[in-house]
């Protein structure tokens, strides 16, 4: 088992497997935020037709399917076989060809020669012991001028109140224990990880939840959820 794996985290999301595609279940926040993630990816990467995309920590395939529908050749990695089974079944039902694999990104980077135009790593970094290891492996798999897009959660009191006390304990939008505050990542820390992997930060922007409209919007406010784009130079 790779060192940069938390079995408790894997088991946590494996138990959610049958609810991945229920827009009103435990994965409801992912369904709400997904259109904005796709919009941002298109803004940063342009037309995805025939581009090779790697979705790291793909879960049940919510983002992977959206990117495949835009014409990308998508590979999805995850460590929870139960989630991958759901992803494969749902893709087949929808006539989509997506290459789903059970592997850590570190092992995958060490075993294949393929390189990708775009790599996505959404809501994963705050669930692993060593985010730097993930980013370094992603950098290895990028083509020259390829882009790495990552979303995660800022580490501050506001994020703790909204996402842990609010979303988990009060509103019960997500299961209790989904997040560990100590694994939240400040933007400055993430940008340092990017630099350590010999990548360049191109963009950072917040994803702000509008309660009354039940949607996320792009925002200059990176206090809670934010997304960042890095690129590999020639």
To the question of whether residue 79 is assigned a binding role by annotation, the answer is: no
The per-residue pLDDT for 18 is 79
What do you get for the CA distance between the two ends of the chain, in Å? Answer: 33
Task: Give CA–CA dist 22/171, Å, rounded.
Answer: 18
> Between the CA atoms of 59, 62, 63 and 66, what dihedral angle is there, to the nearest 10 degrees?
150
The pLDDT, as a whole number, for residue 205 is 99
Residue of 60, 66, 58, 57 whose CA lies nearest to 86: 60
Residue with tokens 């570190």: 106
User: pLDDT digit string (tens) for 8-56?
Assistant: 777 766 666 778 999 998 889 899 999 999 999 999 999 999 999 999 9
Q: Is 78 annotated as a binding residue?
A: yes
122 in a known ligand binding site: yes
Does the annotation list 37 as a binding residue? yes
Residue spans of the chain under pLDDT 70: 1-3, 12-16, 168, 171
| Residue 28 contacts residue 173 (beta carbons within 8 Å) | yes
Residue 223 buriedness (CB in 10 A; 0-12 / 13-18 / 19+): middle
Q: Parallel, antiparallel, or unpaired for β 52-56 and 116-122? A: parallel
Class of domain 7-231: alpha beta
């Amino acid at each position: 088992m790779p060192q940069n794996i938390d079995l408790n985290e894997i088991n946590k999301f494996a138990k959610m497997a049958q609810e991945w595609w229920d827009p009103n279940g435990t994965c409801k926040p992912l369904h709400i935020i997904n259109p904005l993630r796709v919009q941002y990816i298109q803004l940063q990467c342009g037309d995805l037709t025939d581009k090779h995309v790697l979705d790291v920590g793909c879960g049940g395939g919510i983002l992977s399917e959206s990117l495949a529908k835009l014409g990308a050749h998508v590979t999805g990695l995850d460590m929870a076989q139960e989630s991958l089974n759901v992803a494969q079944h749902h893709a087949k039902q929808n006539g989509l060809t997506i290459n789903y694999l059970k592997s850590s990104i570190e092992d995958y980077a060490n075993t294949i020669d393929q390189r990708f135009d775009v790599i996505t790593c959404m809501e994963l970094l705050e669930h692993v012991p060593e985010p730097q290891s993930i980013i370094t492996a992603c950098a290895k798999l990028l083509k020259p001028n390829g882009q790495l897009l990552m979303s995660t959660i800022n580490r501050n009191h506001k994020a703790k109140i909204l996402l842990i006390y609010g979303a988990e304990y009060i509103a019960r939008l997500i299961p209790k224990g989904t997040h560990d505050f100590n694994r939240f990542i400040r933007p400055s820390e993430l940008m340092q990880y990017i630099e350590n992997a010999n990548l360049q930060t191109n963009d950072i922007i917040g994803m702000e939840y509008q309660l009354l409209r039940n949607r996320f919007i792009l925002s200059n406010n990176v206090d809670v959820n934010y997304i960042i784009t890095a690129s590999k130079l020639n």
